[in-house]
Structure 1
Amino acid sequence: MKKNINKLIAIGIGLSVIVGNVSPVLATETIRDSNINIISGAAQNSLKILTLDKAIEAGLNNDDQMKILSSKSNYYNDLQDYYDEADNENGEDQNDVNINSTKQSKEFRKDGVEYEITNLYNSIVLAEKQVEYQREIVNNEGTKTNNMKLKYNKGLIDSVSMSKQEASLKTEKDTLQAKINSLNDLKEKLKLATGINVNNYTFDDRLNYEKLKLDGDLESYIDDKISIITKYDRELADLLEDAVDDMKDDDLDDLEMPDKDKFYNIPKTDSEGNVIGNDFNTTEYNTARDNVLSAYKGYLDAKKGSESASAGVNIKEKTYKNMLLSNYSNILAMEDGIDQLITNIEIANKSLANTKLQYQLGLMTINDYNTAVTGYRQLDISLRQTLNQYYQLKTTFEKPWSVSSSDSEQQKDNQ
């Protein structure tokens, strides 16, 4: 639900379906206001609307990971002065990468917060619709139960049928309570994420839908996304490879132990103090030997780290490529399903208008009419569920880093 989306779908379903003079219609409308305000007719209880944009803004201001990344950014910027004074070129190069990588991580996290808040927001709207839908079912079952009680009192039905209906009503009531609990849990999560007491607001339930559009061919599109994700991983891997090459230039890749003959440098004297030869300097030799072994071990570790880093980037690129290719196929299939679902809603919309006319002419009972309306609402819920899934899938394709930003930052902090 972004304000720059061009094509939007809204299903107008409300009390007017039952008691009004206007049948539900399929319409297009645009959410333009990014602030909290009153949207006419959207909230019967006169609560202010908490728009998605406002929730995202609050989520960014309340996000601890963004604060951690800002602290990291300040640290690396300050560390640059240290490397400048220390004349440490290798450290300075790596710190430059860390500065840019952290800056990118902040952008990734920003997209991640938007993704998380949007999912919560959409889930709350869907949960509210499910509660409304389930409440209608309970009302229908309650009406049916009352009618059956009248028949039971007149001896027109047996006690078994009556008990089954009462059990059915209880089941639907329990389901309603479970859905209410689920809705409250989602609201609490959004409250924690944004710092806003969302119980003081209602939510914009208009539906947004824009099909995926590629800039260029699929392979180039995917490669561009992957290059963004792995840019600084690749740069760090290249720095490690350069460090290994420098070690090779210093012959650290060749394990050559010190020449023992060069360490017979401790003068050996006779009883009169005359130098008669040289003893082996064990201390100096052991120090030289340990230095050679340590340098060679450092080279092996650096070589292993460089190879692992390079291979890790390659694996990451292949993993993302396979994921994005699969996501693209699923997106196309889901778009076909959404188109069909919208068509079904349009057909059901016309059918419901005829059903309402039959009810107004006395050709249908209120219970049958309510059942038809409830069925129509289920289509609305199905569309919302599908569009929520589509948003998630589309986001993982357009901004794959947004989905993994939380996990990746937590892993870095633990290293």
Structure 2
Amino acid sequence: MASGVKYKSISSIPVKVIGTVVGSKPTHSEFRWKRRLVQMLVLVLVVLIPASGLFRIDPGAAAFVVLDRQIWLADFSLVTGAWLFLASSLVLLYSTAGTVFCGWVCPQNSMAEWANNLTHKLLGKHAEVSLTGEAPRVAGAKNKIMNWMLLGVAFFGAAMFFALIPLFYFYQPSVVWSFVTLQENTQLAGSLHWIYAVCVVIVFIDIALIRHFWCRYACIYRVWMHSFKTKQTLHIAYDASRSDECAKCNYCVTSCFIDLDPRKTDIYDSCINCGDCVDACNRLHNKQGVPGLLRFDMLERTNKSVNKFRGVAISLFARMGWTSPFVVLGAVMFIWGLWSYQPYHVVVGNADIQQGRTVQEYRIALSNKLYHSAELHVRVLGLPPDSYRLSAENVKLPPVGRESLILSIAQDLPRGLHSVVVEVSAGDTWMGRFPVQHFSEQRRKL
């Protein structure tokens, strides 16, 4: 959109936005404050999810961590349930709420919108950084070096802050704090400072220059949404039967920070369902005691101004019918995976390294999948007490640590196959067993 056209559309608004009719209640933005609250809560959750141990990635073990539990591929229910739940939930969100995620939840869009507001405050309400090669439009009264410096410092500080958030998904909060305070910590990668610096540069460029470029051209969410978005997906609806009330009024257009005309939305466009245009139209019309011409709707994009609840319910349930079972199935599998999760792992294998001899020693490998230390007790079932020897019966494992024991079996057992069970317990909370078939070939005495 050319700058001249944009300024002309702003100057053509024939009404005052601020003010109320005498005797009426002040009108407030219905969606703006709710959206800001959701955006802030999402940013808090983005940090709390890994910091609380709900979900994290352990780079040292190359494993996912859920509720301070190391997740292996053997934890089938947890892995499959989580991915099935997330994928089905996204499809359900695509087909029903559409771009609500972009306008209300997406941290990338929240950063870009914050950068827009700060740029308008310091450089003028029409200031814009464009990738089309045009020079930045800056208000003459605010085109001062101090304003540019404040904007640059604010963007750089925000980049340093937001670049820290990914670290919580790979390190525990105490480790991240060591990184921030420049303390030595063996758990930190040696090149982490360089990686962090690159992240700061990327975030700075994102919020200072390209902002919505990622949303429009590189976001996977928007790409996949094209496969599931329909005419019944949540969208901005316009009451064309009252179009005469829109004569020479472009307030909804100027209130849209994506430069869309909310009266002409299509199935696939850049609208993020933020609701700013709905608030703008309502503020103008509520002063006359009538509702605005824009609203959120889930019916087909028609000119009807009445939104039938029955039609919305039928449309919603029709699209949820095939995705909801998969969402529920994924959630049930994930919960069952947590319930049946095995915090420790025991494997028994041959320890003899010489060939051509009967196996007399076994290696018991113990693994702790929890991020806190544990003490395990080992005992052997199926053999007389004086026919075997354990290198240790009680083993203390460090967090997500591994230890090995040696089980030595006497050679004077009766010839034949002996069923042996290695039993490992952690107090009264967990018990694991590993069966071993030991073949004894009793040697003749000379």
Q: TM-score, normalised by structure 1?
A: 0.25
Q: By percentage of residues, which structure has more strand?
A: 2
Q: By percentage of residues, which structure has more helix?
A: 1
Name the structure, 1 or 2, with higher relative contact order (CA <8 Å, separation 6+).
1
Considering only CA atoms, is the larger Rg found in Structure 1 or Structure 2?
A: 1
Q: TM-score, normalised by structure 2?
A: 0.23
